Amino acid sequence: MSQKPEVRTRIAPSPTGDPHIGTAYMLLFNYAFAKSQRGKVVLRIEDTDQARCTPESETAILKSLGWLGIQWDEGPDVGGPAGPYRQSERTDLYRSHCQILMDQGHAYRCFCTPEELAARRQERREQKQSTGYDGFCAELPSETVQANLDEAKPFVIRMRTPKSSECLLQDMLRGEIAIPWENVDDQVLLKSDGFPTYHLANVVDDHLMSITHIFRGEEWISSAPKHKLLYQYFGWQMPQLCHLPLLRNPDKSKLSKRKNPTSILYYRQAGFLPEALVNYLGLMGYTLPDEREMFTLQEMVETFDLKRIRLGGPIFDVQKLTWLNGRYIREKHSVDQLLARLTEWFLNDETWKKILPLIQPRAEKLTEILPRPAFFFADMVEYSPENLVPKSYKFQAETLPADLDQEPDPGLMTARLLRIVQWEMEKIRSWKAEALQQCFVNVAEKEGLKLRDVVKPFFLAISGSPTSTPLFESMAILGSDMTRRRIQHALDKLAETGHVISKKKEKALQEHYQKTYGPNI
Ligand code: GLU
Give the tens place of pLDDT for each residue, 416-448.
999 999 999 988 888 899 999 999 999 999 998
206-225 core/surface letters (b: 16 or more CB in 10 A; e: else): bbebebbbbbbbeeebebbb
Cα–Cα distance measured from residue 60 to residue 18, given in angstroms and rounded to the nearest whole number:
7
Q: Which of 14, 25, 240, 243 has most ligand 1 atoms within 8 Å of its beta carbon, as the pocket-test mutant?
A: 14
Pairing of strands 213-217, 240-244: parallel
Residue 431: count other Cβ atoms within 10 Å of its Cβ.
17
> Confidence class of residue 410 from pLDDT cuts 50, 70 and 90?
confident
Cα–Cα distance measured from residue 19 to residue 9, given in angstroms and rounded to the nearest whole number:
20
Residue 159 Cα, ligand 1 centroid: separation in angstroms? 20
pLDDT tens figures, 20-57: 999 999 999 999 999 999 999 999 999 998 888 989 89
User: In 294-403, at which residue ranges do the beta strands (DSSP E only) sit?
Assistant: none
Q: Reduced to 3 states, what is the DSSP secondary structure of residue 206?
A: helix
Is 280 in contact with 318 (CB distance < 8 Å)? no
> Confidence class of residue 467 from pLDDT cuts 50, 70 and 90?
confident
Q: Is the distance from the beta carbon of residue 13 to the nearest atom of ligand 1 less than 6 Å? A: yes
Selected from 3.40.50.2300, 3.90.800.10, 3.40.1410.10, 1.10.357.10, the CATH number assigned to the domain covering 90-238 reads: 3.90.800.10
> Confidence class of residue 398 from pLDDT cuts 50, 70 and 90?
low
- Nearest ligand 1 atom to the CA of 46 is 1
| Most confidently predicted of 131-135, 367-371, 383-387 | 383-387
Q: Tell me the domain boundaries of the chain.
A: 8-88+248-327, 90-238, 385-517
Q: For all residues of the chain together, what is the average pLDDT?
A: 93
User: Is the sign of the CA dihedral 265, 270, 275, 278 positive or negative?
Assistant: negative
Is 68 in contact with 278 (CB distance < 8 Å)? yes
Cα–Cα distance measured from residue 491 to residue 388, given in angstroms and rounded to the nearest whole number:
10
Q: Is the pLDDT of residue 406 over 70?
A: no
Residue 307 Cα, ligand 1 centroid: separation in angstroms? 24
Cα–Cα distance measured from residue 267 to residue 481, given in angstroms and rounded to the nearest whole number:
9
Is 376 in contact with 485 (CB distance < 8 Å)? no
pLDDT confidence of residue 132: 84
Is 44 in contact with 10 (CB distance < 8 Å)? yes
Q: Is the distance from the beta carbon of residue 14 to the nearest atom of ligand 1 less than 6 Å? A: yes
| pLDDT mean over 213-236 | 97
- Among 63, 153, 191, 257, the active-site one is 257
Peptide bond into 84 cis (omega under 30): yes
- Nearest ligand 1 atom to the CA of 26 is 8
Is 108 in contact with 102 (CB distance < 8 Å)? yes
CA 277 to chain centre: 17
Pairing of strands 40-43, 8-11: parallel
Q: Which of 46, 94, 199, 218 has most ligand 1 atoms within 8 Å of its beta carbon, as the pocket-test mutant?
A: 46
pLDDT confidence of residue 395: 67
- Nearest ligand 1 atom to the CA of 217 is 8
Of 260, 276, 261, the residue nearest 341 (C-alpha): 276
Check residue 168 and give left, alpha or beta (phi > 0: left; psi -120 to 50: alpha).
beta
Phi, psi for residue 373 in degrees, rounded to 5 = -85, 10
**Which of the two residues, 399 and 131, has the higher pLDDT score?**
131
Least confident of 233-237, 253-257, 274-278: 253-257
Q: Is the distance from the beta carbon of residue 12 to the nearest atom of ligand 1 less than 6 Å? A: yes
Residue 199 Cα, ligand 1 centroid: separation in angstroms? 9
Residue 297 Cα, ligand 1 centroid: separation in angstroms? 23
The size of the chain, in residues, is 521
- Nearest ligand 1 atom to the CA of 216 is 8
Is 209 in contact with 42 (CB distance < 8 Å)? yes
CB proximity list for 344: less than 8 A, separation 6 or greater? none
Q: Is the distance from the beta carbon of residue 216 to the nearest atom of ligand 1 less than 6 Å? A: yes
Q: Is the distance from the beta carbon of residue 202 to the nearest atom of ligand 1 less than 6 Å? A: yes
For residue 430, what are the CA distances in angstroms to 64, 171, 411, 438?
17, 41, 31, 12
> Confidence class of residue 282 from pLDDT cuts 50, 70 and 90?
very high
**Which of the two residues, 495 and 51, has the higher pLDDT score?**
495
Q: Reduced to 3 states, what is the DSSP secondary structure of residue 117?
A: helix
Residue 109 Cα, ligand 1 centroid: separation in angstroms? 26
% pLDDT > 70, the chain: 97
**In angstroms, how far apart are the furthest CA atoms of the chain?**
85
Cα–Cα distance measured from residue 430 to residue 428, given in angstroms and rounded to the nearest whole number:
6
Residue nearest to atom 5 of ligand 1 (CA): 12
> Confidence class of residue 368 from pLDDT cuts 50, 70 and 90?
confident
Q: Is the distance from the beta carbon of residue 46 to the nearest atom of ligand 1 less than 6 Å? A: yes
- Nearest ligand 1 atom to the CA of 223 is 9
pLDDT confidence of residue 405: 62
CATH code linked to domain 385-517: 1.10.10.350
Cα–Cα distance measured from residue 70 to residue 471, given in angstroms and rounded to the nearest whole number:
36
Q: Which of 220, 243, 246 has most ligand 1 atoms within 8 Å of its beta carbon, as the pocket-test mutant?
A: 220
Residue 216 Cα, ligand 1 centroid: separation in angstroms? 7
Cα–Cα distance measured from residue 156 to residue 178, given in angstroms and rounded to the nearest whole number:
29
Q: Reduced to 3 states, what is the DSSP secondary structure of residue 430?
A: coil
Burial class of residue 377, CB neighbours in 10 A (0-12, 13-18, 19+): middle
Superfamily of domain 8-88+248-327: HUPs (3.40.50.620)
- Nearest ligand 1 atom to the CA of 16 is 4
Cα–Cα distance measured from residue 200 to residue 143, given in angstroms and rounded to the nearest whole number:
27
Cα–Cα distance measured from residue 161 to residue 222, given in angstroms and rounded to the nearest whole number:
14
pLDDT tens figures, 297-317: 999 999 999 999 998 889 999
Cα–Cα distance measured from residue 441 to residue 202, given in angstroms and rounded to the nearest whole number:
42
Residue nearest to atom 6 of ligand 1 (CA): 12
Q: Is the distance from the beta carbon of residue 220 to the nearest atom of ligand 1 less than 6 Å? A: yes
Residue 460 Cα, ligand 1 centroid: separation in angstroms? 38
For residue 108, what are the CA distances in angstroms to 14, 100, 438?
27, 11, 47
For residue 41, what are the CA distances in angstroms to 22, 44, 69, 80, 415?
17, 10, 13, 11, 44
pLDDT confidence of residue 256: 79
> Confidence class of residue 372 from pLDDT cuts 50, 70 and 90?
confident
> Confidence class of residue 5 from pLDDT cuts 50, 70 and 90?
confident
Q: Is 257 a catalytic residue?
A: yes
The H or E element spanning position 493 is helix 480-496
Of 444, 446, 440, the residue nearest 475 (C-alpha): 440
pLDDT confidence of residue 199: 97
Residue 14 Cα, ligand 1 centroid: separation in angstroms? 7
